[in-house]
Amino acid sequence: GAGVSQSPRYKVAKRGQDVALRCDPISGHVSLFWYQQALGQGPEFLTYFQNEAQLDKSGLPSDRFFAERPEGSVSTLKIQRTQQEDSAVYLCASSWGFSHTGELFFGEGSRLTVL
C-alpha cells in the first residue's frame, strides 16, 4: 500500500495477556517510530528505529514493552502481561531520512483495550 499500515486496528486483551502490534511502513522509509496516545492526549514517543537498529527506546514505559524491526522494514511492538494502563492507541510513523526536519507519515493506529 501507499501509506503506513498497522494491524490489528482494534485489540481487546484480558489483563495479563501478551499482545503484538504490527507496523508496515512506507517502502524505503529508513526511520520508524512508535508512539502511544492515551485518550484525549497527544502522542507520546516510545521508540525509534533507523533501519533495523533500535537507536532510542527511552520512551518505553516498562520492560514489558519490547519492539523490533529485524529486517529494517516491518516492525512489531510487543506488550507482555498487559495491564489496564496500557489501554491506548499505538501509532506507528515512518520517514525517508534521519533529519529532524523530515515529515513523519503516520498509520491509523492500533487501539488496545485491556479489560
Partner 1 sequence: AQKITQTQPGMFVQEKEAVTLDCTYDTSDQSYGLFWYKQPSSGEMIFLIYQGSYDEQNATEGRYSLNFQKARKSANLVISASQLGDSAMYFCASSSGSARQLTFGSGTQLTVLP
Is residue 111 within a helix (H) or strand (E), and if so which, with residue range?
strand 110-114
25 binds partner 1, rule: CB under 8 A: no
43 touches partner 1 (CB under 8 A):
yes
Beta pairing partners, 94: 32, 105
Q: Does residue number 66 form part of the binding site for partner 1 (CB under 8 A)? A: no
Shortest CB 63 distance to partner 1, Å: 20
- Three cell numbers, residue 38: 492515551
User: Which residues, numbered 95-114, are part of the site for partner 1 (CB under 8 A)?
Assistant: 98-101, 103-109, 111
Complex with partner 1: residue 27 or 99, whichever CB lies closer: 99
The string of DSSP letters for 41-64 reads S--EEEEEEETTEEEE-TT--STT
Q: Rounded to an integer, what distance in angstroms lies between the CA atom of residue 7 and that of residue 19?
A: 11
Q: Which residues bind partner 1 (CB under 8 A)?
A: 31, 33, 40-45, 48, 56, 59, 89, 91, 93, 98-101, 103-109, 111
